[in-house]
Amino acid sequence: MKMEMIFIPSPATGHLMATVEMAERLLDENNRLSITVIIISFNSKTTSIIAALTAASNTRLRYEVISGEEQPTDLTATDSHVQILKPLVKDAVAKLLEQTRPDSPRLAGFVVDMYCTCMIDVADEFGVPSYLFYTSNAGFLGLLLHMQFMYAELVVPSLTRPYPLKCLPYIFKSKEWFSFFRTQARRFRETKGILVNTVAELEPHALKFLSNGDSDTPPAYSVGPVLHLKNDTDVTQAEILEWLDEQPAGSVVFLCFGSRAGPEISGALGDIHFSEEQAREIATALEGSGHRFLWSLRRASPNVMKEPPREFSNLEEILPEGFIDGMKCKCM
């Protein structure tokens, strides 16, 4: 029997494209499966991406676009802008199921983004299981799932060492964000499984804990790396891979702080940004370590909800004097 899955990604471009890549991989593995990706659109900047995806719709991979009435302009600890779209998502799925044909597929379940867990309620209404697509790594997933039990101690089962309190991410120190992510972690446990954008070789300890069956956490499956590698920079994927191939095995440190993070030149430190001084501290530490490294370094956006980070036209304005020339053979 043919089966239909509903994928609901977060509106952010990085999450959307990773979800599409994940859907395509699943379709390659199972010719009885078809997938409908329900795209939640708030931002006009994603219009061209959405148009390209919908134009590529076919019988096995379809796209349904749902537009939100209000676009979030600030990064806030709430998913209310997604919550209000649940009736529209329910109607869209119901219409898909109305298309009765002799070979009509059976609705098998939902795969929801880590920031769309409210859509688990819609899956429950249709009586099908929901799965979580977690676009970050397994170590952080374990920390997030454990945070609702953390008080004074920071011994996190998914991490190999005790976690220093001073290193806690901002979201765990903010009362507003802590409450939001604690609720998210509870909803994660309502799913039947978690697809994590990682590889077993990179995070064996975290994945072993998440999949040992000794807790109420759904089983975690490593499905990565799921990457959207198209970019508009001068450095191409081929150049990066060629440089990596020239380095000794296991010798390169990779630094990337997410699709929205970057150093804030103006000094107005945002919730998910780090300062110009911190960027220089990282550079100094890398130079002192002697390790080869690959660093994704971009200029922070004044408002990440309105525009993404941009590339630096001149890295010397952010890095220590002489750093680029001194490390030229060891970095990219």
| Structure tokens belonging to residue 143 | 């920390």
The alpha carbons of the chain give a radius of gyration, in whole angstroms, of 21
Q: Are residues 8 and 154 in the same domain?
A: yes
The active-site residue, picked from 28, 79, 113, 291, is 113
Q: Are residues 195 and 256 in the same domain?
A: no
Percent of the chain with pLDDT over 90: 14
Q: How many Å separate Cα 279 from the centre of its chain?
A: 23
Give yes or no: 28 in active site. no
Count of the separate structural domains present in the chain: 2
List the domain range (segments joined by +) for residue 163. 3-222
Q: Which of 9, 131, 127 is nearest to 65 (CA)?
A: 9
Is 172 or 56 the better-scoring residue by pLDDT?
56
Last residue of a domain, one of 222, 248, 281: 222
Q: Are residues 250 and 135 in the same domain?
A: no
Residue 230 domain-assigned? Answer: no
Q: Which residues of 118-148 are buried (b: 16+ CB within 10 A; e: fewer)?
A: bbbebbeeeebbbbbbbbebbbbbbbbbbbe
DSSP string computed for 59-104: SSEEEEEEE-SS---S--S--HHHHTTHHHHHHHHHHHHH---TTP
Last residue of a domain, one of 154, 187, 222: 222
Which of 117-126, 195-204, 323-332 shows the lowest mean pLDDT across its residues?
323-332
Residue 227 domain-assigned? Answer: no
Q: Are residues 157 and 270 in the same domain?
A: no
Residue 41 domain-assigned? Answer: yes
Q: Are residues 107 and 209 in the same domain?
A: yes
| Structure tokens belonging to residue 104 | 């009509």
pLDDT band for 321, please (50, 70, 90 cuts): confident
Q: Are residues 208 and 282 in the same domain?
A: no
Q: Are residues 70 and 127 in the same domain?
A: yes
Residue 229 domain-assigned? Answer: no
Q: Are residues 178 and 265 in the same domain?
A: no
Last residue of a domain, one of 168, 193, 222: 222
Task: Name 294's bridge partners.
Answer: 254
pLDDT band for 139, please (50, 70, 90 cuts): confident
DSSP string computed for 210-260: HTSSSSSSPPEEE----------SSS-HHHHHHHHHTSPTT-EEEE---TT
Mean pLDDT value across residues 228-245 = 72
The active-site residue, picked from 15, 79, 146, 273, is 15
Q: Are residues 293 and 215 in the same domain?
A: no
Residue 332 domain-assigned? Answer: no
Residue 282 domain-assigned? Answer: yes
Q: Are residues 140 and 21 in the same domain?
A: yes
Q: Are residues 124 and 258 in the same domain?
A: no
Give yes or no: 113 in active site. yes
Q: Are residues 318 and 263 in the same domain?
A: yes
* Cα distance between residue 238 and residue 182, in whole Å: 40
Which CATH number is 256's domain given? 3.40.50.2000
Q: Tell me the pLDDT of the chain averaged across its residues.
A: 78
Is 261 or 156 the better-scoring residue by pLDDT?
156
Is 214 or 200 the better-scoring residue by pLDDT?
200
Which of 22-26, 27-31, 126-130, 314-318 shows the lowest mean pLDDT across its residues?
314-318
**pLDDT confidence of residue 270:** 38
* Cα distance between residue 38 and residue 133, in whole Å: 14
Tell me: the pLDDT tens digits for 140-177? 888 777 765 655 446 667 777 776 666 666 666 666 77
